Structure 1
């Protein structure tokens, strides 16, 4: 049985440990298909920060309640409009304090993060999913961005995240056409990692695999792979040279080699 870490019913998210080492953030606004407001983003950002500094939590899963991932920004929330009107450059401040804080928190998170998707992951919800490392969806998933229908921008990070995931031409086609894709289309476009029958079972199985790896090695692998996208080959090789000087002296590498020789499962401690 999972143990909630945040259980106040007035909050916009629920945070629990699905299993030891596997932290889960559930957006808990099901009547609005988990559309987020500024408060939602503040809570998610705080939960990511707690996960990042908690050595007992090795993998993070982000999902939504009630058969939806996240339908984007909550256009019925009044705080955003009132706050934007009260300060200079108010709309920019609101987005920075809101979903931008979530996207930035995920960008610097060194541990594995998996988006578990059912139903809509639209506009800012799609940006949230793409800011995760892995996206596992079931056949009910619907991904895209229809912000343009009401004249809004892909301002939650979508302009960068969409184009990096699916290419500039496909991103523009989606945004200008206000398109929503089913799970198979989204997979073919590069928006999803995998489409499965049961997203919960598949996500948990994958999270277990990630949680069983050497924690420091897992973090360094994420850094190397992410940095490779903006590095030359020579720069990536040089970073790897420095990284092995850290990793190859750890207790976990010694444990891994010992377990391999002894034909047993290693027990990694993160040291």
Structure 2
């Protein structure tokens, strides 16, 4: 795992198993969880970019790799369940619970569990050679890393079921049309564009960004009435806080706001 402080509130975390197309194993998942935790605790870091080293973002689980711990756990049915619970399931929960924003810069393949990992980011930008889809069914496996919950919520049931059942993988433009990514850029400009967007996002009020993200995440599994009640409570401390006051002053004074994070 590579962690880079890019300045201006931006942190880049790079999955670093390029020889395996960054397929996850137990070690990678533990390292990624530690990186997420450090990001969450660091008030100076306002936006995280998640990407992969080399030719791929993440090719899913390393079922053919040389990780003895993973091979042992995969040998039995209960081992498979425990492996998921302690590895990518734990990463998925960490990202879902994270209030700070995450941008996925999808380079190359993001398939199976790798697609799930990308979809756990709040914004996804793909390089033009990226490939996204679910390949689990090709070897008789399930989208068991969280994909069965995420896929239909992102692209709708029919498109998600087709992708999983037929084991389809899409090029970047098709993935964008489905809603798997929101932007496609030339490969050589992927990281630059991700950093540019991250720095723009880092200029916004951190408290407003975090609460807005949490409101929208929670609203995905609540009623409209509950969402309105949650928004009313959030407004009581966000819209009257120092950042909101600074934002209004800046608007009146025709200058960029200087948000302190409160």
Normalising by structure 2, report the TM-score: 0.94
Q: 1:89 is paired with a residue of what secondary structure?
A: helix
Specify the alignment match of 2:123 in structure 1. 134
Measured in 1, the distance between the counterparts of 2:100 and 2:219 equals 17
Specify the alignment match of 2:9 in structure 1. 21
Structure 1: gaps of 5 or more residues: 1-12
Matched, 1:228 2:216: no
Measured in 2, the distance between the counterparts of 1:257 and 1:193 equals 30
Q: 1:256 is paired with a residue of what secondary structure?
A: helix
Residues 147-158 of structure 1: pairs in structure 2 closer than 5 A: 147-158=136-147
1:39 to 16, 23, 27: 27
- Deviation (angstroms), 1:231: 2.5
Matched, 1:117 2:106: yes
Q: 8 Å contact 2:21–2:56 — kept in the other structure?
A: yes
Q: 2:209 is paired with a residue of what secondary structure?
A: helix
Residues 18-97 of structure 1: pairs in structure 2 closer than 5 A: 18-75=6-63, 76=65, 77-85=67-75, 89-97=78-86
Flag the structure with more relative contact order, 1 or 2, with Cα contacts below 8 A and sequence separation at least 6: 2
Q: 2:50 is paired with a residue of what secondary structure?
A: strand
- Deviation (angstroms), 1:29: 0.8
Structure 1 segments of 4 or more deviating over 4 A?
none
- Deviation (angstroms), 1:85: 4.8
- Deviation (angstroms), 1:248: 2.3
- Deviation (angstroms), 1:84: 4.7
Alignment: residue pair count:
258
Normalising by structure 1, report the TM-score: 0.91
Specify the alignment match of 1:258 in structure 2. 249
Specify the alignment match of 1:248 in structure 2. 239
Matched, 1:160 2:149: yes
- Deviation (angstroms), 1:260: 1.1
